[in-house]
Amino acid sequence: MCNSDSGPIGVFDSGYGGLTILHQMRSLLPMYDYLYLGDNARAPYGPRSFDVVYQFTREAVVKLFSLGCRLVILACNTASAKALRTIQQNDLPRLDPSRRVLGVIRPTAECIGGMTQTRHVGILATEGTIKSGSYVLEINKLYPDIKVTGVACPLWVPLIENNEYDTPGADYFVKKRVDTLMRLDPAIDAVILGCTHYPLLLDKILKYVPRGVRIIPQGEYVAGSLKDYLARHPEIDGRCTKHGTCRYLTTENKDKFGESARIFMHEPVEAETITLP
């Protein structure tokens, strides 16, 4: 473990989608230092078992801790669904009780109450996130009156990561899943994009949802929740360095990462290749 009392905010994702969260964090909180880690060599996490996702996520958290991060954001719905609770309850007390690991599902669930009139909410996410039931659990904990319906979209992430998300062929796959969701519950008036990749498909999703249905990407809500968290926890905020820097790590080829990351960050990205664990 790094003995430093302060360091960057760690941001972890299994792939590239967490960059949409990072982009919003840097827009809202540009003064902080960030260290992004993408486990791209082992992505996607969505179809993997709970045990494997937990193991991989724990390895990434330990790595970010070793590089000085006092606070780590799991900018990955699958990791948040399958690993966050175990890491918080079982691992942090042993690794370092003064550090924190936060996810993206709770902040998204918190915002939904004021965004639905019908109290019928849809979730579009990976297979792993849908099967975990995490969104249903978190939303119903806060808003027991809301009915939640989820649909898995297994082909959406490959479309995005292969830079096919803006092609006419992508329309078929987007329309198919949106139609399935609305057929399951026509009363839905708000849809959470429960995967950090999906904002890149936003224009197509808006094309196929019924008029008046609100689409909720996570980035701005997670960034806003982080800002609020740091304001409420000055002991954590004081350990987050503030020089406005951002560093990128990947378990894949660094040039391949940089090429794909540019799609998400809208700027050139230079990364370093590391190994996990």
- Residue 14: φ, ψ to 5°: -70, -25
2 in active site: no
Which residue pairs, CB below 8 angstroms and at least 24 apart, start in 166-172? 166/200, 170/201, 170/204, 171/204, 171/207, 171/208
Q: Hey, CA dihedral for 30, 262, 217, 58, is it positive or negative?
A: negative
Question: Is the peptide bond preceding residue 107 cis, with omega within 30 degrees of 0?
Answer: no
Helix ranges, the chain (H): 18-28, 50-66, 77-82, 84-86, 92-95, 105-111, 127-132, 134-142, 156-161, 168-184, 202-208, 219-232, 234-237, 254-265
Give the neighbor-by-neighbor strand order of the sheet with 120-125: 147-152, 120-125, 190-193, 214-216
Catalytic residue among 76, 111, 240, 246: 76
Catalytic residue among 111, 153, 195, 246: 195
- Which residues are designated catalytic? 76, 195
